[in-house]
Amino acid sequence: MSTHDTAPGASTTTATGAARIQQHRRYLMCRPEHFTVSYTINPWMEPANPTDTALAVQQWQKLYDTYIELGHEVHLIDPIEGLPDMVYTANGGFVIDNVAYGAKFRFQERVPEGPAFMDWFRANGFEVAEPVEVNEGEGDFLLVGDTILAGTGFRSTGDSHRELAEVFGKEVVSLNLVDPRFYHLDTAISVLDPVEGPGGVERANIAYLPGAFDERSQAILAERYPDAIRVADADGAVFGLNSASDGLNVIISPRAKGFEAQLRERGYNPVLVDLSELLLGGGGIKCCTLELRR
Told to judge if 288 belongs to the known catalytic residues of this protein, a careful annotator would answer no
Based on the shown chain and the rule CB under 6 A, indicate whether residue 193 belongs to the binding site for ligand ARG: no
**Choices 5-13, 72-80, 119-127, 279-287; region in contact with ligand ARG by CB under 6 A:** 279-287
Q: Is the separation of the CB atoms in 276 and 244 below 8 Å?
A: no
150 counts as binding ligand ARG under rule CB under 6 A: no
Closest CA to 113 of 190, 54, 34, 175: 34
Shortest distance in whole angstroms from residue 110 CB to ligand ARG: 6
**Nearest-approach distance from CB 189 to ligand ARG, in angstroms:** 11
Does residue 59 interact with ligand ARG by CB under 6 A? Answer: no
Q: Which of 186, 193, 246, 291 binds ligand ARG (CB under 6 A)?
A: 186
Over its C-alpha atoms, the chain yields an Rg (Å, rounded) of 17
Active site residue 184: yes
Which residues are within 8 A (CB) of 40 and not within 5 positions of it... i.e. 6 or more apart? 46, 47
Cβ proximity to ligand ARG: between 121 and 269 the closer is 121
Mention every residue, 6+ apart, whose C-beta is less than 8 A from residue 211: 179, 233, 236
Candidate residues 67, 88, 94, 117; the one interacting with ligand ARG per rule CB under 6 A: 88
Residue 156 CB, nearest approach to ligand ARG (Å): 11
Binders in 90-149 for ligand ARG, by CB under 6 A: 90-91, 110, 139
- The CA dihedral of 64, 67, 72, 76, to the nearest 10 degrees, is -10
Stretch that binds ligand ARG, among 24-32, 39-47, 59-67, 261-269 (CB under 6 A): 39-47
Part in contact with ligand ARG (CB under 6 A); list of ranges 40-48, 56-64, 73-81, 256-264? 40-48
Burial (CB < 10 A; 0-12, 13-18, 19+), residue 123, is exposed
CA angle (56, 109, 240) in 5-degree steps = 45
Residue closer to ligand ARG, measured from CB, 2 or 36 = 36
If one asks whether residue 218 binds ligand ARG (CB under 6 A), the answer comes out as no
State which of residues 79, 93, 151, 283 lies at the interface with ligand ARG (CB under 6 A): 283
CA–CA separation, 20 vs 11, rounded Å?
5
Q: Taking CB under 6 A as the rule, does residue 32 contact ligand ARG?
A: no
Please report which residue ranges of 70-172 form alpha helices under DSSP H.
113-123, 158-168
CA distances from 285 to 29, 51, 173, 250 (A): 11, 18, 24, 10
Query: Which H or E run contains 68?
Result: helix 53-69
Please state, as a whole number, how many other Cβ atoms lie within 10 Å of the Cβ of residue 18.
17
Stretch binding ligand ARG (CB under 6 A), from 18-26, 41-49, 127-135, 194-202: 41-49
With contact defined as beta carbons under 8 Å apart, do 9 and 22 qualify?
yes
In the complex, minimum distance from the CB of residue 75 to ligand ARG, in angstroms, rounded to a whole number:
17
Question: Does residue 85 touch ligand ARG according to CB under 6 A?
Answer: yes
Q: Which stretches of the chain bind ligand ARG, using CB under 6 A?
A: 41-42, 45, 85, 88, 90-91, 110, 139, 184, 186-187, 281-283, 287
Q: State the catalytic residues.
A: 184, 287
